């Protein structure tokens, strides 16, 4: 006796999913034994095919990873696949699929270790720009370098700064604040001439411009992971003092940015405040310390004042 004939199961793949598969097959045909070798060399023809096939969102993913150096799958999904802050299962699946294809095409590289372990799923994969991504960015006039075997401390700190950037974009999309400009390292760095003629560089993690009514708020961000000693914090504070005293930014923009130190907890905030009490009072007025989870809300509230 024949059993019941089941109906075909509708495919859950979207047009974007099918296009991504088609792109990969076109650039690296599975039946061609030399395909993997050609892709490893990334011939001009292969690079042309990858470039022509990239959607606008995939280009923006590459540019975002290049700007912030590292990003997790979860951060990229929230930044480019969420809809008004909602990241549905379907959107998360599409994000994972596209990131897998970009990795296969070497537009992105996936680091060998995850953040949060395997239980965190695909969101825990960490992405950097790949060999094809570097060459595409060079074509677009945006040269970028791949991180060279980044250590755990670098990965942790970079992902915290990336998380802050993602939260700023989310707040902008919700209408909580107006994000005008966001500069990551090294664009956020400010060379200057200190008293005595020494040439120095201030290296904040981010420079942020926010709309504040008819004016703007300018901020430097320092993401602190509670890994630096008190003397290092004091040295960083003094570098800001030297930069402030140089008057360079005041001359260029009419005001000096405030400095937001984002810390993991209240204990670290107290230790940092104690370190900054050793600095000139003129410098301490520039500093604001808050927990990382409260930082974006603080910026939004300050912009509304």
Residues 161 and 237 in one domain: yes
Residue numbers in the chain where pLDDT is lower than 50: 1-11, 13, 18, 22, 26, 28-39, 118
Q: Do 129 and 146 meet the contact criterion of CB atoms below 8 Å apart? A: yes
Domain containing 278: what range? Answer: 156-304
Sheet containing 71-72: which strands, arranged edge to edge? 71-72, 126-129, 108-110
Residue 26 pLDDT:
47
Residue at 8 is within a domain:
no
- Contact (Cβ atoms closer than 8 angstroms) between residue 179 and residue 168: yes
What pLDDT score does 271 carry? 95
CA gap 260, 218 in Å, rounded? 10
Q: Which of 82, 116, 148 is the last residue of a domain?
A: 148
Residue 174's pLDDT is: 92
The pLDDT assigned to 21 comes to 53
pLDDT, position 252: 86
With the CA atoms of 227, 231, 236 and 241 taken in that order, what torsion angle do they form, in degrees rounded to the nearest 10? 150
pLDDT computed for residue 4 by the predictor: 43
Q: Mark whether 143 and 222 lie in a shared domain.
A: no
What pLDDT is attached to residue 116? 59
Number of domains the chain is built from:
2
Does 166 reside within a domain?
yes
Q: What is the pLDDT of residues 215-231, one digit of tens each?
A: 999 999 999 999 999 99
How much is the pTM? 0.84
**What pLDDT, in 10s, does the model give residues 57-87?**
999 999 999 999 999 999 999 999 987 566 7
| pLDDT for res 227 | 94
Residue ending a domain, among 113, 148, 183, is 148
Residue 177 φ/ψ region, left for φ over 0, alpha for ψ in the -120 to 50 degree band, beta for the rest: beta
Which CATH number is 27's domain given? 1.10.10
Q: b/e map of 81-107 (b: 16 or more CB within 10 Å)?
A: bbeeeeeeeebbbbbbbbbbbbbbbbb
Q: What per-residue confidence (pLDDT) applies to 275?
A: 93
Residues 30 and 126 in one domain: yes
297 and 160 in a common domain: yes
9 belongs to a structural domain: no
Helix (H/G/I), strand (E/B), else coil: 48: helix
Residues 166 and 290 in one domain: yes
């Amino acid at each position: 006796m024949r059993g019941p004939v089941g109906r075909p199961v509708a495919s859950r793949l979207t047009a974007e999913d099918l296009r991504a598969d088609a792109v990969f097959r076109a650039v690296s045909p599975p039946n061609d034994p030399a395909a993997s070798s050609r892709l490893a060399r990334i011939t001009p023809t292969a690079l042309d095919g990858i470039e022509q096939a990239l959607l606008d969102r995939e280009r923006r993913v590459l540019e975002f990873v290049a700007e912030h150096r590292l990003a997790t799958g979860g951060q990229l999904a929230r930044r480019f696949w969420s809809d008004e802050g909602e990241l549905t299962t379907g959107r998360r699946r599409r994000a994972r699929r596209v990131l897998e294809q970009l990795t296969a095409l070497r537009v992105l590289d996936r680091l060998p270790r995850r953040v949060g372990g395997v239980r965190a799923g695909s969101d825990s994969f960490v992405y950097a720009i790949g060999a094809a991504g570097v060459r595409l960015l060079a074509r677009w006039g945006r040269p970028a370098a791949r991180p060279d075997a980044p250590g755990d401390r670098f990965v942790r700190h970079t992902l915290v700064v990336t998380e802050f950037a993602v939260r700023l974009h989310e707040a902008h999309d919700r209408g909580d604040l107006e994000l005008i400009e966001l500069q990551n390292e090294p664009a956020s760095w400010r060379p200057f001439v200190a008293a005595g003629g020494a040439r120095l560089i201030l290296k904040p993690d981010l420079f942020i411009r926010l709309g504040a009514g008819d004016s703007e708020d300018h901020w430097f961000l320092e993401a602190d992971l509670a890994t630096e000693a008190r003397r290092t914090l004091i040295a960083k504070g003094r570098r800001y003092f030297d930069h402030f005293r140089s008057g360079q930014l005041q001359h260029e923009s009419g005001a000096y940015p405030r400095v937001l130190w984002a810390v993991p907890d209240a204990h670290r905030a107290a230790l940092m405040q104690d370190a900054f009490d050793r600095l000139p009072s003129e410098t301490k007025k520039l500093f604001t310390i808050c927990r990382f989870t409260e930082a974006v809300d603080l910026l939004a509230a300050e912009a509304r004042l």
